[in-house]
Amino acid sequence: MSFGEVDAAGNIFEKTWWLLQSGWFWAKQTAQGDHTTIAACGGMDRDYSERFVARVCVGPTRAVKPVPSVELAARALRVARRVLGDLPYEVSYSGEDRVRFVVMDDGEFGPFERHHLEVFGSGLLDLRWGLHMAVIDEVADPLPLGEVVAVIRRVHQVTQGSEYRNLYSKRLSEKRRRHDWRIGVTGRMSSAKGQVEWHSLDVPGSDSFARAKNRYAYCPSIGFAADRLLSRKPDEPVQAVVRPVLEELLMHAGYLDVPNSVAAIVAHHQLDSPTRPALAPAEPPAP
């Protein structure tokens, strides 16, 4: 082999190596994403009147190409049917970048929003689910972890369906995007007499979980385990989303033996078993 042939072979190798590195870097950046969509979901530590709230937000890891704004409302309606099922929701707002759906309920001081869902053209879903917890004499019912898990499960199921993926346009060579999640549960609600905290869980035997005495439930402003819920694969089981949330929910509520407590909760709610229906049966997709 002549010197010129060796030099040419070296150039080919160098260019091939550069292409491989560029492809690897592009794939890594694509998987990591820019996380701009989920950044809109903050304030999960706020208190609500009339109800405790489980807030579940999910959006594409990379910014998407939006569909024409005139098509958003119809596509958002299909998503809302999947999330809210047969609940009597109404559309409280529809604009060029988002559509808001609410489920009303009767409270002590008149009608209020029990559930609240916003569907964005960016692919962001923001569900604020009013938990069914009675407050009697300023004492709240135990936190219904089964309902919290069911809400997360429902949204997880929706993100795997075509109604959700049709919220935004597909880019070339794109199949299914990774998702970013933010999930929070309020530790307090506001009543006519002040603030009411939840102090216990609805899981049998949870009263025996070791817990700090002077620690009330707290939710960070960006939700539980926010850094662990970025760039999740769309085909991951719901357990991959629920377990980190449960771990940090208990930690921020002052529970001491978090791993064993979460194991008991997972066993009670059969989270490691095959997927079961979440909440009420969802309305079938519109033709």
The answer to whether residue 202 is domain-embedded is: yes
Identify the pLDDT of residue 136.
87
Q: What per-residue confidence (pLDDT) applies to 30?
A: 47
Residue 279 pLDDT > 90:
no
User: Does the pLDDT of residue 227 top 50, yes or no?
Assistant: yes
- pLDDT, one tens digit per residue, over 7-45 is 555 556 565 544 445 444 444 444 456 899 999 898 998
Maximum mean pLDDT: which of 8-12, 20-24, 150-154, 211-215: 150-154
Helix extents (H) in 85-186? 145-159, 162-165
Whether residue 144 lies inside any domain: the answer is yes
Full domain range(s) for residue 143: 36-268
> What distance separates the 2 farthest-apart alpha carbons in the chain?
93
The residue with greater pLDDT, 265 or 279, is 265
pLDDT of residue 284: 43
Confirm whether 229 is domain-assigned.
yes
109 vs 283, more confident = 109
Provide the token pair at 200.
């216990």
- Count structural domains, the chain: 1
* 191 is a domain residue: yes
Own/partner pairs for 28-33, CB < 8 Å, 24+ apart? 30/62, 31/61, 31/178, 31/231, 32/61, 32/231, 33/60, 33/61, 33/62, 33/177, 33/178, 33/180, 33/230, 33/231
Contacts of 247 by beta carbon, 8 Å cutoff, 6+ apart: 224, 225, 258, 259, 262
pLDDT tens digits for range 66-89? 889 999 999 999 999 999 999 999
At 14 the pLDDT is 61
Cβ-based burial of 133 (10 A; exposed 0-12, middle 13-18, buried ≥19): middle
Band of pLDDT at residue 171, cut at 50, 70 and 90? low
Compute CA distances 46 → 27, 41, 70, 160, 257, whole Å.
37, 12, 33, 29, 27
Contact 206, 214 (CB under 8 A): no
Q: Counting runs of H as helices and runs of E as strands, what totals does the chain give?
A: 6, 13
Q: Is residue 278 part of a domain?
A: no
* Residue 5 covered by a domain: no
